[in-house]
Every structure is written in C-alpha cells, then in structure tokens.
Amino acid sequence: MTGTTGTLEATTNTLTALDRCDRCGAQAYVRAVLSSGTGALLFCNHHARQVEETLRPKTSEWVDESGRLAEAG
C-alpha cells in the first residue's frame, strides 16, 4: 500500500526576501528565466536595469516585482 501524508503547498513565483541578487547579494526583485533552459538569474532592481537591454531578449520569462519597492516606501 502506498500513500502520502501532509499537504501540497501551492507554488508561487513571487520573489521573497530570501531571494538574493546574483550580482551583489541584495534582495532580488527581478527573475530572468533563460530561453536556453539553463535556469534563472535573480537581480536587485539596480542590476536588473543594467542588464535588461541585453539580457531580456534572451529570456523566456522576465518577472519584475520592483513595483513593490514603491509600496514599501
């Protein structure tokens, strides 16, 4: 007999305070999922703006939650 216990938690794409920028370690507000399928990169707002023009065309998904910065202030 097989079975499972516990509950399944809904997965979410929302970035949390635990998600850190791959460049500087600050809180990440942008996730760039690469079209090549090799993974995702996380960026703080500052570094996302630096690489957006060149990197965004190479992504299948660009999740920008930098609007949350205005809400916090």
Mean pLDDT along residues 43-66: 96
Q: What pLDDT is stored for residue 37 in this prediction?
A: 87
At residue 68 the predicted structure's pLDDT band, cuts being 50, 70 and 90, is: confident
Burial of 48 by CB count in 10 Å (0-12 exposed, 13-18 middle, 19+ buried)? buried
pTM value is 0.77
At residue 57 the predicted structure's pLDDT band, cuts being 50, 70 and 90, is: very high
